Amino acid sequence: MPYFYPMKDPLILLSPSKGMSSSCHFTSDIADACLFPKTTTEVVKAVQQLATGTAKKLFKVSDSMWPAVAQMWSGKPSSYTNPDHGLRGLTAYNGEAFKFLNAAELTTSGMSNAAQSLYILSAVYGAVSSNMCIAPYRLEMQSRLSVAEHKNLYSLWRPILTHWINTIDPPFVIDACSGEYSKVVDWKRVNTPVVQVDFKQLKNGQMKSVSAFSKQARGAFVRWCLENNIKEMSSLTSFSEMGYRMHTFDDNKLVFLRDSQ
């Protein structure tokens, strides 16, 4: 396990998206190193050893989509941990959250804060920094992939990511992940304070979660944190973008609410 220096800024965690950019122009010679190259290599090898039929079921892809997905996984393991050309972590994903994060239009200050604080959790890489160079991939954390003695990716990554957070020792953690990715960390064993954010819609007096709106809000919230140089946990409650307002802040869960769109 490599040594990680303690952080002076909060750690911001965000989920990835299935959709990824197709522009592999970022070079590894100017990028952050892969955080967990040994484990990433194990994941890649586990995927590459799957029979075609099993892989199609794992990725939930049609016959027409399979060639493109197979191509993603056709490289040598080293081409995933240290690609000559790949995707920059901050702009690698293009799902709803990342459209509202809108990294291309971050200010210089926002980009600097992203480089210091933002990590995207990943079934392949564990955690992806803003300036890390990664290969395009398709794999979800909830995918039923066995890796070595681990029956699934949660079993593989949970102790690694929990230890990583404790080692870098941030002043606090902002968990802006979906439930699928938030549970890859054993929060009971994390030594630093954590704030888990959630976004809900109010309609006819009832609060409910709408997946697409939650994804958009998580991206907008992370952008707001980066652009406003958030350093104090108490400052998080002032988020008011997209019509949201703080509803509750109980224990470590911060819930924002807005009227249904």
DSSP state of 238: G
- pLDDT surpasses 60 at 205: yes
Q: Quick one: average pLDDT of 111-132? A: 96
Q: What's residue 161's pLDDT?
A: 98
pLDDT score recorded for residue 260: 79
pLDDT at 1 over 80: no
pLDDT band at 83 (very low <50, low <70, confident <90, very high): confident
Average pLDDT in the 237-249 region? 95
Task: Provide, rounded to the nearest whole percent, the portion of the chain with pLDDT above 70.
Answer: 95
Q: Which residues contact 208 (CB under 8 A, 6 or more apart)?
A: 200, 201
Question: For 137-168, how does the pLDDT look when each residue is reduced to its tens digit (9 = 90+)?
Answer: 999 999 999 999 999 999 999 999 999 999 99
- Give the pLDDT confidence score for residue 249 in this predicted structure: 94
Q: Compute the mean pLDDT over every residue in the chain, rounded to the nearest whole number.
A: 93
End-to-end CA distance of the chain: 46
Residues 6+ apart with CB under 8 A from 94: 17, 19, 20, 21
0.75 cut: is pTM over it?
A: yes
Question: Residue 133 pairs with which residues in a beta bridge?
Answer: 88
| CA 111 – CA 115 distance, rounded (Å) | 6
Q: List the chain domain ranges.
A: 11-259
The number of helix segments (H) and strand segments (E) in the chain equals 9, 11
Q: How confident is the model at residue 45 (pLDDT cuts 50, 70, 90)?
A: very high
Kindly report the three-state secondary structure assignment for every residue of 16-58. CCCCECCCCCEEHHHCECCCCHHHHHHHHHHHHCCCHHHHHHH
Q: Residue 24 pLDDT > 80, yes or no?
A: no
Beta strand extents in the chain (DSSP E only):
11-14, 26-27, 85-88, 118-122, 126-129, 133-134, 173-176, 194-203, 206-208, 245-250, 253-259
